[in-house]
Amino acid sequence: MKKLMTIFMAVCVMARVAGADVWEDLAKYKMAGGKGFPPVAAHKVIVDTPVAEHGAIEEKLIAIIESKDATGDAKIFSCRMLQRVGSEKCVPVLAKLLNDDIMSHYARLTLERMKDSEAAGAALRDGLSKAPDKLKVGIASSLGERGDRKAVKDIAKLAESSCEASAKAALIALGKIGGKNAKKALDKMKVCDGAKDARQDARLSVAVGMRDTKALEDIYKNGKCYKHRGVAVSGLLTIDEGKGAASVADIIKGDDVRLRRSAMRFVSTLGGEKLTKAICGVLSDLPAERQANVIALLGVRGDKSASGALEKYLSAEDKSVKKAAIKTVGLLGDAGTVGKLLACGGSDKEMSEAAARSLAGMTDPGVNGALVKLLGNAESKDTALRALVARNAKDAVPALKKLLTETAAGKRSPAWSALGSLGGKDDLDELMKISLASRDKGDIRAAKDAMKNICTRDTDKDGCVNVVAAYYEKADGITKAFILDMAAVTGSGRGLDLARKALKSDDKDLYKNAVRAMAAWSNSKPEKDLMELAKSSPDEAARILALRGYIQMISKEGNRQKQLERLDVAKGIVKRVDEKRLLISAACKVREDSKVAEFLVSYVDDAEVKVEARKALVEKTKRFRGKGSQALKDALNKIVNDAGSDKELLKEAKEALGKVK
């Protein structure tokens, strides 16, 4: 229906444009119930007309505004359109509207925005002198927006109005216009009490515009209001940074909390190197808490010239100051500061973590190289490694491999960990060789974790498995198990072939390792193998392992129907209580609430798992869609009847029952 209406409306509009006179219709237009056909049609004409031909449209709009017969709504719409297409031609027509209660604002839409038109300015000035008082404020504001200095005298009169809001608006206009005359007028005028703040604001704007440092300094030093003193300082910072910077430094040392809050904000937003230097200069005079705060702000400020001055705070005794310095030096520093950041971490865990975080965020392209160079430093090596990982510094991988070979086996797990995060498929072969040469159990474990991590991340899963599979035939049992583990992580088809081959082995340990790997497979590829093993493996432990693996695989992949089928298959062979629990848990993960609810019914009376089954059934039924079976209703009624003192279960079961009915 909505579509039909839209098409109907569009056809009506098109008919208007093509046929009868759009402008005649517009002239008669009255706002009514949202059926804005004439304005919409007129707007379409404007959009479809090349800019060079907008003069003709302007004439039509002017004619409507001048017409005695045109409606007010049509005139308003025409004024709105003139904001877009109006030229000097429409100025005299709009000027006449400035005295009109409602139309004055609409006339300003165009006159204010015709920035380069002297005629528009003259019309507004004339309007300001003749318009009724209540319309003057809008006209004055338009003149202020245009920065019309010829209007200062009349706007200044308005600023002396007893109406606080009008006076404030006029003062804003004077502030925008600026210049000597505005300054004189502001100094001389008497404003109502409520507008005194606005006058001081205007004075400040004018002073900044005139680059009048003397006036600004005077307001900063002798002013009573913290807001104006703050504005004076921000003004000074923009026109005489040295003076502004000295003022900010004074304020930061001082006790005026509210003024200091403004100045602290200037630290992160205004000024240049002079302000940075001034702030660094007063840092040592500040109490620790403020010192830490200002150091952090210097980081936000981003002026690298502060970096050198802040390095001494890397060894500050106060922890908050030291942490702030670590963070800020990282933000401002370059490759040359890497060593200092690493050194300041030392043996303090909290500080070395802060240093690693800071190093991780550094943007200088030389930072990775600097970190690599300092990997040899035993005290800071772990911090450097953490930073390299956080920086995703793949260019550090060759250096990390070299570090592995140069470090004693028992001490290289941090390097393995870093390689696991940064290495790729192409590094696996070399890492495999290094790990095979190791005899240290901890080292081998770290190597395996690293290589698993690489296999998990790399998108070429088969490629990764191919690299390690090359070592399979000649490997010992432990290594074979490890290769199968990696295959499980990747879920690769090539890896699955290896696992299947291992199942045929006479080596019982290898057989179990293959089953274990299949049970932990990252996808559902070994689904059939696992079911077969669960049903008919000669080894009981392998049967249990395979069944668990199968159950955990149920919701891993495949559509919901496939997952439901797996549930049914598993249900046929689960016997042990822990397996039933696993199956119920797996059923909950299948996002087919209605069918899973029906599936769970059969466990509601199973004494071994009825508590879990009943909770799961209620949970699934709460999201039930469609009609439930009688068995499901009976099961839910039973849960309600048996709930006893379990009020929560009772409430939820009743809710679930409501869904089924």
- The interface with other proteins within residues 231-260 (CB under 8 A) comprises 231, 234-235, 258
Is residue 28 a contact point for other proteins (CB under 8 A)? no
Q: List the one residue from 129, 268, 284, 315 that touches other proteins (CB under 8 A).
A: 268
Is residue 267 a contact point for other proteins (CB under 8 A)? yes
We find the least distance from the C-beta atom of residue 246 to other proteins, in angstroms, to be 16
Residues 493-532 that bind other proteins (CB under 8 A): none
What lies within 8 Å, CB to CB, of 94 at 6+ separation is 65, 79, 82, 86, 107, 110, 111, 123
Nearest to other proteins of 121, 144 (CB atom) = 144
Q: List the one residue from 9, 12, 49, 80 that touches other proteins (CB under 8 A).
A: 80
We find the least distance from the C-beta atom of residue 474 to other proteins, in angstroms, to be 34
Nearest to other proteins of 185, 236 (CB atom) = 236
Q: What's the N-to-C CA distance of the chain in angstroms? A: 34
Question: Do residues 500 and 530 lie in contact, with contact meaning Cβ atoms separated by under 8 Å?
Answer: no
Is residue 33 a contact point for other proteins (CB under 8 A)? yes
Nearest to other proteins of 283, 545 (CB atom) = 283
We find the least distance from the C-beta atom of residue 108 to other proteins, in angstroms, to be 4
We find the least distance from the C-beta atom of residue 490 to other proteins, in angstroms, to be 15
Reading the block at residue 248, the tokens are: 């900010």
Q: List the one residue from 105, 381, 386, 448 that touches other proteins (CB under 8 A).
A: 105
Residue pointed to by tokens 């190597």: 447
Residue pointed to by tokens 């040469």: 437
The DSSP-derived string for 384-409 is: HHHHHHHTT-GGGHHHHHHHHHHS-G
Residue type, 37: F
- Which range touches other proteins (CB under 8 A), out of 106-114, 342-350, 509-517, 541-549? 106-114
Residues 450-479 that bind other proteins (CB under 8 A): none
Is residue 114 a contact point for other proteins (CB under 8 A)? yes
Nearest to other proteins of 106, 511 (CB atom) = 106
HSE-CB of 11 using CA atoms within 13 angstroms: 6
CA atoms 555, 557, 559, 562: torsion sign: negative
Q: CA-to-CA distance for 23 and 45, rounded, in angstroms?
A: 10
What lies within 8 Å, CB to CB, of 104 at 6+ separation is 97, 98, 127, 131, 135, 138, 139
Is residue 538 a contact point for other proteins (CB under 8 A)? no
Q: List the one residue from 28, 211, 221, 265 that touches other proteins (CB under 8 A).
A: 265
What lies within 8 Å, CB to CB, of 345 at 6+ separation is 326, 351, 352, 353, 354, 355, 356, 380, 383
Q: List the one residue from 60, 75, 77, 550 that touches other proteins (CB under 8 A).
A: 77
We find the least distance from the C-beta atom of residue 438 to other proteins, in angstroms, to be 27
Q: List the one residue from 264, 286, 374, 475 that touches other proteins (CB under 8 A).
A: 264
Residue 245: how many other CB atoms lie within 10 Å: 25
We find the least distance from the C-beta atom of residue 23 to other proteins, in angstroms, to be 17
Residues 145-204 that bind other proteins (CB under 8 A): 145, 163-166, 168-169, 172-173, 197, 201
We find the least distance from the C-beta atom of residue 29 to other proteins, in angstroms, to be 9
Site string for other proteins, 40-59 (x = CB under 8 A): ---x---x---x--x-----
Is residue 9 a contact point for other proteins (CB under 8 A)? no
Angle between helices 349-360 and 319-332 (to 10 degrees): 20
Nearest to other proteins of 295, 515 (CB atom) = 295
Nearest to other proteins of 260, 516 (CB atom) = 260
We find the least distance from the C-beta atom of residue 487 to other proteins, in angstroms, to be 20
Q: Over 425-444, what HEC string results?
A: HHHHHHHHHHHHHCCCHHHH
Q: CA-to-CA distance for 389 and 366, rounded, in angstroms?
A: 15
Tell which residue, 397, 394, 396, 384, has the closest CA to residue 358: 384
Is residue 6 a contact point for other proteins (CB under 8 A)? no
Q: Exposure of 385 by Cβ count < 10 A (0-12 exposed, 13-18 middle, 19+ buried)?
A: buried
Q: List the one residue from 58, 112, 154, 241 that touches other proteins (CB under 8 A).
A: 112
- Which range touches other proteins (CB under 8 A), out of 25-33, 546-554, 572-580, 581-589? 25-33
Q: List the one residue from 12, 17, 49, 113 that touches other proteins (CB under 8 A).
A: 113
We find the least distance from the C-beta atom of residue 35 to other proteins, in angstroms, to be 7
Residues 359-418 that bind other proteins (CB under 8 A): 360-363, 390-392
- Which range touches other proteins (CB under 8 A), out of 14-22, 34-42, 467-475, 651-659? 34-42
Size of the site for other proteins (CB under 8 A): 73
Q: Exposure of 113 by Cβ count < 10 A (0-12 exposed, 13-18 middle, 19+ buried)?
A: middle
Nearest to other proteins of 5, 378 (CB atom) = 5
Q: CA-to-CA distance for 124 and 138, rounded, in angstroms?
A: 10
Give me the phi and psi of 659, to 5 degrees please. -65, -40
Residues 330-369 that bind other proteins (CB under 8 A): 360-363
Residues 281-320 that bind other proteins (CB under 8 A): 293, 296-297, 300
Q: 3-state DSSP helix/strand/coil percent for the chain, to nearest 5?
A: 75, 0, 25
Nearest to other proteins of 391, 620 (CB atom) = 391
Nearest to other proteins of 166, 479 (CB atom) = 166
Site string for other proteins, 593-612 (x = CB under 8 A): --------------------
Q: List the one residue from 142, 328, 380, 513 that touches other proteins (CB under 8 A).
A: 142
What lies within 8 Å, CB to CB, of 406 at 6+ separation is none
Q: CA-to-CA distance for 30 and 639, rounded, in angstroms?
A: 67
Give me the phi and psi of 212, to 5 degrees please. -90, 85
Give me the phi and psi of 398, to 5 degrees please. -55, -40
Residues 205-234 that bind other proteins (CB under 8 A): 226-227, 230-231, 234
What is the helix (H) or strand (E) element at residue 327, kind and residue range? Answer: helix 319-332
